[in-house]
């Protein structure tokens, strides 16, 4: 079988984490089976759909690198096709016109509730003859659901699912204004597009028996279905905006790498032994839709953070730099003059969780800080630090060898000469040049900051100490 999967979002909001995971599973399965991945935009609900949402979905997919092989198809461009299939079903007696008024349907529903019957259409118009109809009167089109038997299908994740036809009423496939309804467009599209595997959220599992009946009525072979359980927040409730960032692009804005989010999402509901880190190629190789958990999964931000740091440290620095650039632009940090940002990444990623934090943590390599970190200054820029800073400055100013090793030895010499521990020189100097108490190896830090800035900042620290002395 040639595998063809599709991701079919409705553009009524951004691409959220649950949708992204479904898209990832569809994409992975297609890749693994050397099949085709289709993107279909289900935009028939014109009131709730927007161009901005379409763009947000496309952006999210692109940022995650889930490129589609076919599409995007837009349902709003396929109305003629839906009308054609509707006519076909009518002509074959597999669908019918229903003239029931809203009042009748409301009363029916009320009665069913009182009787504790199944709620649904009672088939009142199902067998109207031509003579009994006036097609100029407002009407909807309903699908003639089989009355007998059951729909049974083998869900690739949930196992066998069986629903009696007696529980399914005759679904509206076209509204009074002629527009097609959701379940009908999905059926026509999945058949026309030759979808072999429908992988989607399990909020759609109740639609599947109806869709299978329509497919059978169209004499088509039904695809296989896999319904992916939902994602819960860390509090066990269904994941929603309340849980913070749920839009994929919000994760970019917050400083996550797409590799980390993808890796996180693939594990959210699927596993391969104890393995936590999966490259894209490994995911493709190892993923199988059958191994997706039946139970819902809970979102865990700590794990995502851990993966993000892992990828910041372990991806090629050029790759991280490419994503970091977005944050540098956001934070208006120009890094083209000064140390190559690629050198900083593995060193600095150790100390931060996100690219956003990374962008702000590397600022002192490119710009003088505005003020000292209060705690660090209080602790290390005290009057006793004046002499070590002055002597270190003298040595640093005089040297023509501005390499990390040599700079390091100048700091040691300063300490020896003053008969001080290395920390008594190193820490004030670190605070002086970075403005804060945390940086890579001091020699490396000095080298990367550069001579002019180092000397200028030591002066600034000495001034700070002098002021402190003056204030008692
Ligand atoms: N458009 C539907 C949604 O966004 C998905 C339909 C499907 O996958 O069959 O929930």
Arithmetic mean of pLDDT, 365-370 = 96
Q: How confident is the model at residue 295 (pLDDT cuts 50, 70, 90)?
A: confident
pLDDT of residue 466: 96
- Do 164 and 109 lie in one domain? The reply is yes
Domain that holds residue 346: 315-367
pLDDT of residue 1: 79
- Do 213 and 120 lie in one domain? The reply is yes
Arithmetic mean of pLDDT, 198-227 = 97
Ligand 1 binding pocket mutation candidate from 12, 190, 204, 224 (most atoms within 8 A of CB):
204
Contact 40, 75 (CB under 8 A): yes
Ligand 1 binding pocket mutation candidate from 8, 78, 209, 224 (most atoms within 8 A of CB):
8
Q: Which CATH number goes with the domain that contains 378?
A: 1.10.10.350
- Do 216 and 96 lie in one domain? The reply is yes
Is the beta carbon of 170 within 6 A of some atom in ligand 1? no
Q: Examine the fold and report which residue of 228, 244, 262 is the final residue of a domain before the chain moves on.
A: 228
Q: Which of the following is catalytic: 241, 290, 353, 356?
A: 241
Q: Examine the fold and report which residue of 197, 228, 259 is the final residue of a domain before the chain moves on.
A: 228
- Do 3 and 67 lie in one domain? The reply is yes
- Do 306 and 322 lie in one domain? The reply is no
pLDDT of residue 245: 61
Q: How confident is the model at residue 298 (pLDDT cuts 50, 70, 90)?
A: confident
What whole-number distance in Å separates Cα of residue 149 and Cα of residue 457?
Answer: 83
What whole-number distance in Å separates Cα of residue 233 and Cα of residue 90?
Answer: 45
Whether 173 shows a pLDDT value over 80: the answer reads yes
- Do 224 and 272 lie in one domain? The reply is no
Strand 95-98 versus strand 140-143 pairing type: antiparallel
Over pLDDT 90: what percentage of the chain? Answer: 91
What whole-number distance in Å separates Cα of residue 390 and Cα of residue 459?
Answer: 9
Is the beta carbon of 42 within 6 A of some atom in ligand 1? yes
DSSP 209-242: HHHHHHHHHTT----EEEEEPPEE-TTSSBP-GG
Strand 70-74 versus strand 36-41 pairing type: parallel
Taking the centre of ligand 1 as the mean of its atom positions, its distance from the CA of residue 230, in whole angstroms, is: 14
- Do 101 and 219 lie in one domain? The reply is yes
- Do 3 and 102 lie in one domain? The reply is no
Taking the centre of ligand 1 as the mean of its atom positions, its distance from the CA of residue 7, in whole angstroms, is: 8
- Do 349 and 336 lie in one domain? The reply is yes
Taking the centre of ligand 1 as the mean of its atom positions, its distance from the CA of residue 115, in whole angstroms, is: 33
Whether 244 shows a pLDDT value over 90: the answer reads no
Q: Examine the fold and report which residue of 178, 204, 228 is the final residue of a domain before the chain moves on.
A: 228
Taking the centre of ligand 1 as the mean of its atom positions, its distance from the CA of residue 187, in whole angstroms, is: 11
Q: Which CATH number goes with the domain that contains 205?
A: 3.40.50.620
> Into how many domains does the chain fold?
4
Is 393 a residue of the active site? no
pLDDT in tens, 97-117: 999 999 999 999 999 999 999
Residue 434: phi and psi, rounded to 5, are -105, -20
CA dihedral (251, 253, 257, 261) in degrees, to 10, reads: 10
> What string of H, E and C letters represents the secondary structure of 101-145?
CHHHHHHHHHHHHHCCCCCCCCCCCCCCCCCCCCCCCCCEEEECC
- Atom 7, ligand 1: residue with shortest CA distance: 8
Ligand 1 binding pocket mutation candidate from 9, 180, 228 (most atoms within 8 A of CB):
9
- Do 305 and 354 lie in one domain? The reply is no
- Do 306 and 237 lie in one domain? The reply is yes
Residue 11: phi and psi, rounded to 5, are -80, 65
pLDDT of residue 242: 67
- Do 119 and 253 lie in one domain? The reply is no
């Amino acid at each position: 079988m040639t595998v063809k999967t599709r991701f079919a979002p409705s553009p009524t909001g951004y691409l959220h984490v649950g949708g992204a995971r479904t898209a990832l599973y569809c994409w992975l399965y297609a890749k693994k089976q050397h099949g085709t991945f289709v993107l279909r935009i289900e935009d028939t609900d014109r009131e709730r759909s927007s161009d901005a949402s379409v763009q947000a979905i496309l952006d999210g997919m692109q940022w995650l690198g889930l490129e589609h092989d076919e599409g995007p198809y837009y349902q709003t461009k396929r109305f003629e096709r839906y009308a054609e299939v509707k006519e076909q079903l009518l002509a074959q007696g597999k669908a019918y016109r229903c003239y029931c008024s809203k009042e009748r349907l409301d009363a029916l529903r009320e009665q069913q509730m009182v009787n504790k019957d199944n709620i649904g259409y009672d088939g009142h118009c199902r067998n109207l003859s031509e003579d009994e109809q006036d097609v100029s009167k407002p009407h909807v089109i309903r699908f003639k659901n089989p009355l007998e038997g059951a729909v049974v299908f083998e869900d690739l994740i949930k196992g066998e699912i069986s629903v009696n036809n007696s529980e399914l009423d005759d679904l509206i496939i076209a509204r009074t204004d002629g527009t097609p309804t959701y379940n009908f467009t999905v059926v026509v599209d999945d058949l026309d597009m030759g979808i072999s595997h429908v992988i989607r959220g399990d909020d759609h599992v109740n639609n599947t028996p109806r869709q299978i009946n329509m497919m059978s009525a169209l004499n088509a072979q039904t695809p296989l279905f896999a319904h992916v359980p939902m994602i819960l927040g860390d509090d066990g409730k269904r994941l929603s905006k309340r849980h913070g960032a749920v839009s994929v692009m919000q994760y970019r804005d917050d400083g996550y790498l797409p590799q980390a989010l993808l890796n996180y999402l693939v594990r959210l509901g699927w596993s391969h032994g104890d393995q936590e880190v999966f490259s894209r190629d490994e995911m493709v190789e190892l993923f199988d839709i059958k191994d997706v958990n039946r139970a819902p999964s809970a979102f865990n931000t700590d794990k995502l953070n851990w993966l993000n740091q892992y990828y910041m440290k372990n991806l090629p620095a050029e790759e991280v730099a490419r994503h970091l650039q977005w944050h540098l632009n956001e934070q208006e940090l120009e890094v083209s003059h000064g140390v190559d940002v690629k050198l900083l990444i593995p060193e600095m990623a150790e100390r931060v969780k996100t690219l956003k934090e990374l962008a702000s943590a590397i600022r002192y390599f490119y710009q003088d800080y505005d003020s000292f970190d209060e705690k660090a200054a209080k602790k290390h820029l005290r009057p006793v630090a004046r002499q070590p800073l002055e002597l270190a400055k003298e040595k640093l100013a005089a040297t023509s060898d501005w390499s990390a090793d040599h700079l390091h030895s100048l700091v040691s010499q300063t300490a020896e000469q003053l008969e001080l521990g290395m920390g008594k020189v190193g820490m004030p100097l670190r605070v002086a040049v970075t403005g804060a108490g945390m940086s890579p190896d001091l020699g490396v830090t000095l080298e990367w900051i550069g001579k002019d800035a180092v000397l200028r900042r030591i002066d600034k620290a000495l001034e700070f100490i002098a002021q402190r002395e003056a204030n008692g």
